[in-house]
Structure 1
Amino acid sequence: MAGQGSHITAMVRSHASGDDEAFYSVALQIAAREARQGHHRLANDIKKAVDSSRSRPRGPLAEVTALPRPRGDIAELVEISNPQERMRDLVVSPELAGQITHVIQEQRQRAVLIEHGFVPMHRLLLEGPPGTGKTLTASVIASELSLPMYTVRLDSLLSKYMGETAAKLRTVFDEAATNRAVYLFDEFDALGGDRSGNDVGEARRILNSFLVFLEGASAESIIIAATNHRAILDRALFRRFDAVLTYSLPSSKQAQTVIRKRLGSLVKGVSLSGLGSCSEGLSHADLVKAAESAAKSALMRGDATVTRADLESALTVRRSASLT
């Protein structure tokens, strides 16, 4: 009965917080327990109910109305979106995919973890070259957890007056404590850059304010900071995050996957092996742009598929541009 009570408590909490995945996860745990006790019909009914609810499409109207409407000071500090990208859309190394999946799983099981006195990972630092999937990862985490994403506008956040910036930072973290969502600080090095040189004073106090707010950040939301320049970040930042995820340029095999995902049937039957010399040094974003350029060339001349020559040409042009 104690185990049943804890499951019910976890389900109520996850339902109250709007965390559907956590709710489903606890329901499946109950189904597994019932199956072990020989109650197979009940277990199957629970599983079918979960599968049916998960597969029910969300209409466009539901997606729009689900978005919160911030008012007051927070409205000018964030941009809110409802991402639809999923893990299958993310092309990264197996190790990195495993780390991201683990974060998502902890969040889905957050009610159970909190019930037993543990806190799920909710402060992440994503670092790596531009265009390698950091912002997409934030979108994937939000989508997989059925949460909105708040992208913090650093241009509105930063002020030459430290008191104003600290107050704005507090506004963002207060919002994160009351409205569960993914909060993305993109191009975070603008805020968290190393201040050990001559640039002290106001900038150092702004960073210290962020560190204080991050240290005490509520586990209600997921705080994600993304940077292209790990080397210039203040060292004090790293120990404040629950996990640091490192991104890199795609391998030759990953490059092929990115191109195929973007072009779909337009590249059906086309061999992409051996394109490494053309794609070397290109980011995921570069590869997508090159694939789109190749597709446009093929479609404008009336072809239904992209040729290997189209891809080689587009990749070469993109690579030359990225090296200049």
Structure 2
Amino acid sequence: MSASADHLKALLSAHAAGDDDRFYSVALQVAAKSARQGHGRLAAELRELIDTSRAEKISRRPAPTPVVQPRGELASLLTADYPETRLADMTLADETRAALEKVLHEQRQRGRLERFGFTPVHRLLLSGPPGTGKSMTAAALAKELGLPLFTIRLDGLISRFMGETASKLRLVFDAAAQTRAVYLFDEFDALGADRANGNDVGEARRILNSFLLFLDQAPAESLVVAATNHRRLLDGALFRRFDLAIVYGQPSAEQSIEVLQRRLAAMDTSGVAWGCLAALTEQLSHAELVKAAEAAAKRAILGGSDTIDADQLRGALNERHLLRHA
């Protein structure tokens, strides 16, 4: 039996309380446990049932308010999307998941907090190596809250005429005040570099000062998420302005195996001795592990099989290591 007694109790408790989010989260944990135990087909069937049930429930709920695609100058600054990734789909450290669940809880209880004069967490700083889930986190938060994800295009925001950048920043934050959404500043160090940097220029400092001012005034209805691979480059004042700073790291051996198992849930992995692959997952990011799993799966499928063996995974993981050092 893949579900533990604790899982069964949690499922019944969530069902009794009418807490669909908790129910599906536990159900996905059961599917993940099935995958870890080598029951790939069962895990895939459970995920399919969960997705079908979710889709039916969502179809009966009011759809998110349609958001007009950015027009005019905003069209060169923002890209809009409705993501499908959920928090339960991500492999995260326990403390990271707890922090993100806190954000969701406060946002869902925003009205109650505001009645007492408090605002929910709505300004997040995510930092860590590439491929560790920062941008995916913004997508998952948008999906969980039924909001669009607006990604700020820094190539459009940062003008060669640097005096224009502050006015473009104002446009973005004005949009955040008018349209509730998740606003993602990816590769944020391009904007938030330390003002004390000797190579900096006065205009760049003024741009950062403008960002800090706009961030202070950002409405609690929208989430402003800044993601960077280079935390050390950021100006110290930024850390005081964000409500929450989350540091992402490379996955542990156990998390790495979970990433592989999640991506290969539709394949038969019952013959894989996962423990033997742990050493090969070291130093690989979540994104690199996903690519390795996909490479192994495609080789098997194109070879006429739905079965993955350890040698195929070992070869795919070795390829990712070679690419890292190319």
1:55 deviates by 5.7
One-letter amino acid matched to 2:309: T
Q: Alignment identity in percent?
A: 52
Could you tell me which residue of structure 2 aligns to residue 271 of structure 1? Answer: 273
Q: State the one-letter code of the partner of 2:159.
A: S
Residue 295 of structure 1 is matched in structure 2 by: 297
Bigger RCO (CA 8 Å, 6+ sep): 2
The 5 A counterparts of 1:88-237 are: 88-196=88-196, 197-237=198-238
Q: In the alignment, which of 286, 289, 293 is matched to residue 288 of structure 2? A: 286
Structure 1 segments (4+ residues) deviating >4 Å:
52-55
Give how far 1:306 is off: 1.2
Q: Cα distance, 1:205 vs. partner?
A: 1.1
User: Could you tell me how far apart the structure 2 residues matched to 1:218 and 1:249 are?
Assistant: 32
RMSD (Å) for aligned C-alpha atoms: 2.1
1:116-172 deviation line (CA, Å, top 9, x unaligned): 111000000000000000001001100000000000000000012232100100000
What does residue range 234-249 of structure 1 map to in structure 2 within 5 Å? 234-249=235-250
After TM superposition, give the deviation of residue 190 of structure 1 in Å.
0.8
1:47 corresponds in structure 2 to: none
Q: Determine the C-alpha separation between the residues in 1 that align with 2:54 and 2:274.
A: 39
Distance (whole Å) between structure 2 residues aligned to residue 144 and residue 162 of structure 1 = 36
Give the C-alpha shift of residue 308 in structure 1: 0.8
Aligned AA for 1:241? Answer: F
In 2: Cα distance, 1:198 partner to 1:246 partner: 27
Letter in 2 for 1:192: G
Once the 2 structures are TM-superposed, how far is the Cα of residue 253 of structure 1 from its aligned partner? Answer: 0.6
Is the CA contact 1:67–1:82 (under 8 Å) kept in the aligned structure 2?
no
| Equivalences for residues 41-52 of structure 1 within 5 A | none
**Contact kept? 2:268, 2:306, Cα under 8 Å:** no
Deviation at 1:53, TM superposition (A): 10
- What TM-score does the superposition give when structure 1 sets the normalisation length? 0.80
1:255 aligned onto 2:284: no
The runs of 5 or more residues in structure 2 that have no matched partner are: 1-17, 20-52
Q: What is the CA distance between 1:195 and its match in structure 2? A: 2.9
| 1:38-66 CA distance string (max 9 Å, x none) | xxxxxxxxxxxxxx99962339xx67x83
Offset, 1:208: 1.0
Q: How many residues align?
A: 273
Q: Answer yes or no: is the 8 Å Cα contact 1:250–1:284 preserved in 2.
A: yes
Once residues 172 and 240 of structure 2 are traced to their aligned partners in structure 1, the CA distance between those partners, rounded to angstroms, is: 21
Cα contact 2:269–2:309 (8 A) shared by 1: no
Give deviations 1:201-256, integer Å, cap 9, x for gaps.
11111111111111111112000000000011111111000000010000111011
Change (3 A) 1:105 1:184: same
